[in-house]
Amino acid sequence: MKKRYLAPFVLSALFFAACGGGSKSGEQAATSETEQPADNSMVSPNANKPMTKGQELMAQQDCKTCHKEEMKLVGPSFKDIAGKYPNTEENVDKLADKIIKGGSGNWGEVAMLPHSNISKDDAKEMVRYILSLSANQ
């Protein structure tokens, strides 16, 4: 018979335990919000691929504001450029000069801005990378 009197105490103990648990999980939710995984949406999906020297040099320049690998933007896509010019030393030389001096006429009226701060050797590395993107290679 004694147990009966204990029941209200047991129930209230459970009640407080439940409340305590409730507020605890609230705290956990608050802390997990600050532990969101890093936002990688701005990182290119190819970021883990090793970059060639030309690709690295281009990443430091403004090329990507006008060129994409697969799609025409302000300038032709790098795949289109690779399709137009065979990967010869002569073409590498000619296109490296074009990157440095800028100009228009080969793809349309829109001109590429000059890049007078880029050395000829660096420009050649970039062209070698661009021409390596040709679909037939």
Binding site for ligand HEC (CB under 6 A): 58, 61-63, 65-67, 74-76, 81, 95, 98-99, 103-108, 110-113, 115, 126-127, 130
Nearest residue to 124 (alpha-carbon basis) of 89, 72, 85: 89
Q: Which is nearer to ligand HEC, 46 or 106 (CB)?
A: 106
Separation in Å, CA 133 to CA 27, 58, 93, 107, 122: 52, 14, 17, 18, 17
Q: Nearest approach, Cβ of 101 to ligand HEC (angstroms)?
A: 10
Q: Which is nearer to ligand HEC, 21 or 62 (CB)?
A: 62
Q: Nearest approach, Cβ of 41 to ligand HEC (angstroms)?
A: 24
Q: What angle do CA 100, 102, 108 make, to 5 degrees?
A: 145
